[in-house]
Chains A and B, each alone.
Chain A
């Protein structure tokens, strides 16, 4: 028996070494990418990073805690607007306003979590969708602060006297995504992640083990709103023009799709799912008439052939080799 555990341990060490090497390789490739890509390619890659950040947060909520949210586009929007307003109008340094905006949005996320304590599945989906509509409407109608339907045009942010252009923003996004992966890894491996997994399986069992489900749901909502808001703050300065319409229910559904396509409850899945959702439509843009048709078909095919998501496939291939 001890031999078996030993073997298991060496195997686990081997896979973790393999995973570490793979991660390092990906990071190196990501660092080198700007020297190979043109401006458009860099934009697509930065957008992938931004959406991956949202997906990382949403995956903690949906993949681990099993709570469906259709208001993450609104969190994303609140983060974008808060960062933009703090930086542009209040003159707060960009990195600080990213952090403050994210903390503020985390509080909003905690408030949204209150009905989530009682609601389940589709009821929760519709309630969060309602919150999304309300938040988007507030952004739209609070014209004095957000300029309403006119949108906000933004100039490039400045960090320590250095103006952040496309390349700088890409490296900032890369750094934040790396931090985000590290954070999500810690949360999912730690006490919170284990608690969330049990809550997903059975709230009654969680309660019997002395896990306060309500508190952990609020924490999960707040953390994932934090991720979405940081991504929003990066997004605002990536596109440099934000409009309330950017943050509609359709985007929330897209975020949820990323998480499911990538793989529920996996960190790699969040990244792969975001990449699929951003890059595939860009590749299909050349096909006349039918980019939607091909993308929709791919979505169906991926789900039918890989119900556990793309990351499940990656993992299976990794195990075989």
Chain B
């Protein structure tokens, strides 16, 4: 019983983590909390659905194309909406992404309507893996592996490639980074492209588990933020683990403590953790010079 709940929680947590990582990559590099991340992923997922359903590509062909679409979408949005806002109050940019969230949702509604679609997945009909005596759905395993792969790949990218080092430099001190020849507007574009790419992967993995409709990512977005804050927004692995912990906590509290207050108690736990560790469990407290 408890093992099943934990596995279910991990599966849900993985979905939060996927969106969470996409948000955090943009947040850490550009300081902007992207409220449109969920809807960007939703549009990417609908594009993948269109490729599968109308164009007739196979899953393995459609997914890379859709993920590429997600990246281009991120860069276009950055160029049109975010670039003019570099240097303005951060809250203005955040509210602009909120507007974008509404726009993308309406556009998807106009194109695809508000009915639900079943999104295919090559893992949907596989028999669950037995770990000990606990059945674990293959889709959950794929989500966990994909999440870990993204964390590892992003960490490698940010630590060991020239572009990644430039991104980190720009996020730490834009002025000095610019003097060293790092283009701030280009790093912002790369960050948004990466966010769109990772969000697209998240959407495509989430959609078969829920139903695909225009509100696919609405609930996930807030949970992703909450899990990210719990783990600590400055560490990718922290975000990943924070989201997993959030998923498990939700399931356990819902089953054992109080079904009605499940979500509320989860948030109380988050607030309590934040009071003790204001930068999240895995976060580092930034040392600031006056």
Q: Which residues of B contact A298 (CB under 8 A)?
A: 99
Tell me how far the C-beta of A59 lies from the nearest C-beta in chain B, rounded to whole angstroms.
12
B91 at the interface (CB under 8 A from A): yes
Instruction: Choose among A126, A133, A256, A299 the residue that contacts B229 (Cβ–Cβ < 8 A).
Output: A126
With contacts A292-B105, A304-B81 taken as known, whether A119 is within 8 angstroms of B92 at the C-beta atoms is no
Within 8 A of A (CB), among B253-272: 260-261, 263-264, 267-268, 270-271
Q: Does A120 sit within 8 A of B, measured CB to CB?
A: yes
Knowing A134-B267, A299-B102, the reply to whether A115 touches B85 (Cβ < 8 A) is: no
Which of A81-89, A171-179, A231-239, A257-265 touches B?
Answer: A257-265
- What total of chain A residues lie within 8 Å of the partner, measured CB to CB? 45
Known contacts: A290-B110, A296-B101, A299-B98. The answer to whether A126 contacts B261 by CB under 8 A is no
Q: In the complex the two chains form, what is the Cα distance from A101 to B85 in whole Å?
A: 40
Q: Indicate if the CB atoms of A119 and B274 lie closer than 8 Å.
A: yes
B226 within 8 A of A: yes
A137 lies within 8 A of B102 (CB) = no
Q: Does A297 contact B (CB under 8 A)?
A: yes
| Cβ distance A210 to chain B, nearest Cβ, rounded Å | 16
Neighbouring B residues of A141 by C-beta, 8 Å: 260-261
Q: Quick one: given A133-B263, A290-B110, A293-B110, are A253 and B98 in contact (CB under 8 Å)?
A: yes
Question: Would B226 and A299 count as touching, CB distance under 8 A?
Answer: no
- Which among A118, A137, A249, A261 is the interface contact of B95 at CB below 8 angstroms? A261
Asked whether any CB of chain B lies closer than 8 Å to the CB of A295, the reply is: yes
Q: Is the C-beta of A307 less than 8 angstroms from some C-beta in chain B?
A: yes
Contact residues, B209-252 vs A (CB, 8 A)? 222, 225-226, 229, 233
Q: Which residues of chain B in 105-119 are interfacial with respect to chain A, using CB atoms and an 8 Å cutoff?
A: 105-107, 109-110
Q: A120-B278, A126-B225, A130-B268 are in contact. Are A296 and B92 (CB under 8 A)?
A: no
Size bracket of the B interface: 35 or more
Residues of B within 8 A of A27 (CB): none
Q: Is the CB of B278 within 8 A of A123?
A: yes
CB distance from B196 to the nearest CB of A (A): 17
Residues of A within 8 A of B81 (CB): 300, 304
Chain A residue numbers with a CB within 8 Å of B229 are: 122-123, 126-127
List residues of B whose CB falls within 8 A of some A CB.
27, 33, 81, 84-85, 88-89, 91-96, 98-107, 109-110, 222, 225-226, 229, 233, 260-261, 263-264, 267-268, 270-271, 274-275, 278-280, 288, 290
Knowing that A130-B268, A295-B99, A300-B99 touch, tell me 5 more A-B residue pairs with CB under 8 angstroms.
A125-B225, A138-B264, A296-B104, A307-B88, A307-B93
> Can you list 26 contacts pairing A with B, beta carbon distance less than 8 Å?
A115-B271, A118-B275, A119-B274, A122-B27, A122-B33, A122-B229, A122-B233, A123-B279, A126-B229, A126-B274, A130-B267, A133-B267, A134-B264, A137-B263, A137-B264, A202-B290, A205-B290, A257-B98, A290-B106, A292-B105, A292-B109, A293-B107, A296-B102, A300-B99, A303-B93, A308-B88
